[in-house]
Structure 1
Amino acid sequence: MRFRPTAVVLAFLLCSVSLRAAEALDSATGKEAKGVIFFDAKAIGIEGQAFADTKAPYDRLPGKADGVVRPPVWNLSRDSAGMAVRFVSDAPAIHARWSLTKEKLEMPHMAATGVSGLDLYVRTEKGNWHWLAVGKPAAQTTTAALISNIPAGKREYLLYLPLYNGVTSLEIGVPKGSTLFKPDARPAARAKPILFYGTSITHGACASRPGMVHTSILGRWFDRPVINLGFSGNGTMDDSMGNLLAELDVAVYVIDCLPNMDAKAVAAKAEPFIRALRKAKPNTPIVLVEDRTYGDAFLIESKAKRNAGSREEFRKTYAKLKAEGMTGLSYLEGEKLLGEDGDDTVDSSHPSDLGFMRQAEAMKVVLEPLLR
């Protein structure tokens, strides 16, 4: 009887081939500290950083954007939200050392692990990403053993950077005698990133750890890099941001700005923003996302009106562009983003981990056919 490998076995075999082919980093290029060799994450490669010509190592916008985008957008772009390091190692323990730009490690409604911490995932034998460890920030510079007592074997890892803090340096450490490898490039079919442009929700508020933002969840589900261009309170479809988005070669644009835009702003800015992006990228899918429903909108009339007003104007824009024949547009209604129980935000606006999971599930339905 001829052996027919299952999808799981094929995924494992493909993963194993990739791990065997990975390029080892020379331990001489690392820095030893107490029996651990630390390697600069930049030498391994950063996923989710859209622009190479940045002023600082982990900025999200290029240096030329300084003075072009609004000052709050520029300042928020110094946060490392969405960036990750993918690497391979046979080490029995994974260490990290990272330095932050801000002394404040947490926010009143968001844990330090999400604001300033690291988040480690490992690829399983089935080929899926599985959470493994969190890096808890202790100060502006933290050195930590993320995980130890790992059974022997070479594995692929994914390490997410902080959401609401900037990073000046990041090193990944393995015990002396172990090896750290660069990963193989992603297959061509999954190399282009998903780009998310939006608000504090896209930015990551208020995930308990960096891997729990919906952008990161979707990146793991689709096994693709993601670019997170969420700017807390400042995702407002500015022309300057549209021009920067248009420079990038991505699989799909997800535009999720309505939580920062009332009906008047949507009426004034949405149509020209979408038209300009479509003109620059005629074949790239664009997903338009309504604002999530405030958790207390069922009782607070002003919040219900806020949701309804911005959505009405956004739907008008979408309908107009579709009627004119613009192709490649998809639309996701805000009522589908969160649940009806009110348990998925921390303050009626910003999702908890539960809220981000629900939001990821809603976006997956729209993104899946576009990414096939």
Structure 2
Amino acid sequence: MIRIAGLAFVFAGFLAPTSSDAQEVIDPSLARTDPGDSTRWYDIQLLGIEGQGWDDTKAPFDRLPARAEGVVRDAVWGLSRHSAGLCVRFETDAPTIKARWTLTSDRLDMPHMPATGVSGLDLYARVGDRWQWLGYGRPEQAPTNTGTLASGIEGGPREYLLYLPLYNGVSSVEIGIPEGASLSKATPRPEASSRPIVFYGTSITQGGCASRPGMVHTAILGRRLDRPVINLGFSGNGRMEAEVAGLLAELDPAAYVIDCLPNMDAGEVEERVGPLVRTLREAHPDTPIVLAEDRTYSNAPLVSSARERNATSRAALKQEFDRLVADGVPGLTYLPGDPQLGDDTEGTVDGSHPTDLGFFRMADVFEPVLRSALSEGP
């Protein structure tokens, strides 16, 4: 079915699997200890990394396969080594949870984005049928940071979700729990919600400028929809290139979200949308594909160049969408840009990149579109 997404905001809860039966308890003998400290440190690779589309990566926390090096542009390859969207789910009865992580870059923050989002960790706990924020890992130095994510945790064993940095890479991440506490892989997701949503886009998709890794809209949507998410946002470099399209087609997601307009002019949109969609559709005849307009620049009401930038790229995207529909390409949804940041101008850091408020509003707009697409997908 072909749909133009409406503008109504919808928020719906999700039914979550219980974590009553822990899966694959991690052997305590695999933990490391430091002299004079009883904390047991576990490599998160023992728990399984969520959010990676490929397992043939050059380094453990890369987002593209090793064979993409030299195939995609150097800028895309470099950004793919950031850990945006990667996370780990686990279960523990520990009253204190620590983390130790080693960054691959000494750039802890950016002028418009705090270190907690660029290079920090973000911890959520499942409470009933929702995810409750619990604590964060504050990056204070490069390369290695150690900190307590949460202490005095009440209520016994439960499931946790730990997000990795958005605009930095990591070479190692460890979870620290007290001696005697248990650690397990999280209960597997139900089969119906085990396939991921793939987001391909720009700096906004990558997470600029969320204050914490869990506050980018892709992560918010992953929690709301209770699905894994693969974040393929490449800051300044989401350009619908054929090389990236070929890699996207290798995946088998529940849905694709293509959100590249902020990095493309109208001519590039006209040239590349059709080939990208057809590449995905050839590999996956029934998988929903959402084509998203760019968010409206916050200063567009007063700056004609910003208005023109939005208008021309959107007109080109809509033209290509209509052409694909006319050609009989199924399973496409068009997501307008105007409602994404709300009806005021308070949702960005710099007129372009969302704050946490902006990302929350974006999630509100994307959520009903994805729920509808997922309900009609294969």
Query: TM-score, normalization: structure 2?
Result: 0.93
CA distance in 2, matches of 1:172, 1:101: 18
Paired amino acid for 1:137: P
Q: Tell me the SS of whatever aligns to 1:249.
A: coil
Provide, for residues 128-165 of structure 1, a one-character-per-residue CA deviation record: whole Å limited to 9, x for no partner.
11111011011120111111111241010000000000
Cα separation, 2, equivalents of 1:200 and 1:36: 37
- Give 1:138's aligned residue: 140
Q: Give the corresponding residue for 2:43.
A: 40
Residues 164-243 of structure 1 correspond to what in structure 2 (within 5 A)?
164-243=167-246
Partner of 1:329: 332
- Which of 1 and 2 has higher RCO (CA within 8 Å, sep 6+)? 2
Q: Residue 24 of structure 1 corresponds to which residue in structure 2?
A: 25
**RMSD across aligned positions (CA):** 1.3
The CA distance in 2 between the partners of 1:275 and 1:90, in whole Å, is 48
Cα contact 1:19–1:183 (8 A) shared by 2: no
Q: SS of 1:138's equivalent?
A: coil
Determine helix, strand or coil for the equivalent of 1:86.
strand
The aligned counterpart of 1:4 is none
Q: Does 1:56 align with 2:33?
A: no
Distance 1:71 1:98 in 2: 26
Distance 1:138 1:346 in 2: 23
- Counterpart position of 2:280: 277
* Superposition deviation, residue 11 in structure 1: 5.9
- AA partner of residue 347 (structure 1): D
Aligned runs of 1:232-271 on 2, under 5 Å?
232-271=235-274
1:353 Cα deviation after fit: 0.3
Q: Deviations 1:89-148 (Å, cap 9, x if unpaired)?
A: 000100100000001100000000000000000000x22111110110111201111111
Distance in 1, Cα, partners of 2:89 & 2:151:
18
What CA distance in whole angstroms lies between the structure 2 residues aligned with 1:302 and 1:369? 34
CA–CA distance in 2 between the matches of 1:23 and 1:62?
A: 27
Q: Give 1:338 shift.
A: 1.1
Q: Deviations over 1:10-47 (max 9, x none)?
A: 968x51xx332422111110001311101010011100
State the AA in 1 paired with 2:242.
Answer: D
Please give the per-residue CA displacement for 1:73-104, whole angstroms capped at 9, x wherever unaligned.
00000000000000000001001000000011
Richer in helix (by share): 1
Secondary structure at the residue paired with 1:103?
coil
| Alignment check: 8 A CA contact 1:48 1:82 kept | yes
Letter paired with 2:27: D
Deviation at 1:279, TM superposition (A): 1.2
* d(CA) in 2 for partners of 1:174, 1:49: 25
Structure 1 contact 19–88 (Cα < 8 Å) conserved: no
Are the aligned partners of 1:37 and 1:176 in contact in 2 as well (CA < 8 Å)? yes
Would you identify which runs of 4 or more consecutive aligned residues in structure 1 move more than 6 Å? none
Contact map agreement 1:80 1:165 (CA 8 A) in 2:
yes
1:122 counterpart = 2:143: no
**Mapped partners of 1:314, 1:216: distance in 2:** 25
Query: Residue 86 of structure 2 corresponds to which residue in structure 1?
Result: 83
Aligned length: 360
Q: How far off is 1:370 after superposition? A: 1.9
Q: Percent identity?
A: 56
Q: Structure 1: which 5+ runs fail to align?
A: 1-7
Distance in 2, matches of 1:23 and 1:316, equals 50
Inter-partner Cα distance in structure 2 for 1:303 and 1:157: 41
SS in 2 for 1:317: helix
Partner secondary structure for residue 161 of structure 2:
strand
Contact 2:22–2:91 at 8 Å: present in 1 too? no
Q: CA deviation at 1:185?
A: 1.4
Kept in 2, the 8 Å contact 1:19–1:156? The answer is no
